[in-house]
């Protein structure tokens, strides 16, 4: 299935990046740490992993990937996002402006496609064909999805139906039902192999220092992740 970015999506993100507020360092750290743990079991050859950061934003995830020895390429639709990323990463950063539905990158050129951000661009219906195309055979896609946890209890009375509808569309994970993937994943040849929970610290944004958020995650969040985790990181393998 082919497609294009939703109407108004580019304008929305261009407006955001005119005056961005970049927070959630703890979420970036947790996401990349979990992604690297999921990749260590893959037995890749002795070379840097080629990782596509799909929807790279300000480049914070790319910086963490590069520090871990990966060779990261960032893609974003918004000019402003790439400007901020280049300021953060330096002039040598590998950044590409592209629509996720038409990346314009070489077929089979990446070991891993990583897409983060709760409603990550990798989860948009129809993007899966491009994700599979740029992955090498048996490559891995790591895509995060929002998960409904106990933190949602106060809003369930008036948002419950909307969340259930989002689950049916394949946009969120519901305990104990998990993810309900759209047929586009299987059609693209991407098979779900794992979906660990994470991001269980309270959703307080920049009011909770990263150190406190990470300490909460280690000591309380992980044991209570079935109740508190607000995100799942779905690991897909390209079949064939």
pLDDT at 45: 64
In this predicted model, what pLDDT tens digit does every residue of 60-111 receive, in sequence order?
A: 999 999 999 999 999 999 888 899 999 989 989 999 999 999 999 999 999 9
Does the pLDDT at position 42 exceed 90? no
Q: Domain 9-238 adopts which CATH fold?
A: Rossmann fold (3.40.50)
In this predicted model, what pLDDT tens digit does every residue of 180-217 receive, in sequence order?
A: 999 999 999 999 999 999 999 998 766 778 888 889 99
Entry pTM? 0.87
Every domain of the chain and the residues it spans:
9-238
The share of the chain scoring above pLDDT 70, in percent, equals: 88
Confidence of residue 9 (pLDDT cuts 50, 70, 90): low
pLDDT at 183: 95
The mean pLDDT value for 55-63 works out to 91
pLDDT at 172: 93
Does the pLDDT at position 18 exceed 50? no
Average model confidence (pLDDT) for the chain?
87
pLDDT at 41: 81
pLDDT at 207: 77
What long-range pairs does 75-80 form, CB within 8 A, spacing at least 24? Answer: 75/100, 75/103, 75/105, 76/13, 77/5, 77/9, 77/10, 77/13, 77/121, 78/10, 78/13, 78/14, 78/16, 78/17, 79/14, 79/17, 80/13, 80/14, 80/16, 80/17, 80/18, 80/20
pLDDT at 175: 92
């Amino acid at each position: 299935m082919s497609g294009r970015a939703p109407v108004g999506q580019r304008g929305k993100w261009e407006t955001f990046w005119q005056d961005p507020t970049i927070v959630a360092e703890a979420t970036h750290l947790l996401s990349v740490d979990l992604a690297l743990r999921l990749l260590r079991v893959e037995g890749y050859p002795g070379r840097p992993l080629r990782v596509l950061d799909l929807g790279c934003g300000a480049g914070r995830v790319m910086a963490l990937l590069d520090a871990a020895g990966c060779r990261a390429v960032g893609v974003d639709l918004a000019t402003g996002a790439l400007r901020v990323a280049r300021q953060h990463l330096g002039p040598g950063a590998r950044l590409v402006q592209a629509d996720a539905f038409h990346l314009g990158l070489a077929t089979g050129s990446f070991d891993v496609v990583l897409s983060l951000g709760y409603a990550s661009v990798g989860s948009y219906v129809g993007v899966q064909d491009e994700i599979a195309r740029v992955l090498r055979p048996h490559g891995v896609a790591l895509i995060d999805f929002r998960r409904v946890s106990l933190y949602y209890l106060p809003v369930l009375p008036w948002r419950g139906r909307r969340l259930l509808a989002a689950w049916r569309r394949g946009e969120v994970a519901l305990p104990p039902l998990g993810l309900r993937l759209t047929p586009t994943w299987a059609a693209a040849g991407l098979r779900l192999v794992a979906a660990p929970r994470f991001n269980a610290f309270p959703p307080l944004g920049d009011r909770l220092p990263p150190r406190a958020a990470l300490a909460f995650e280690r000591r309380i969040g992980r044991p209570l992740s079935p109740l508190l985790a607000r995100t799942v990181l779905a690991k897909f393998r390209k079949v064939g």
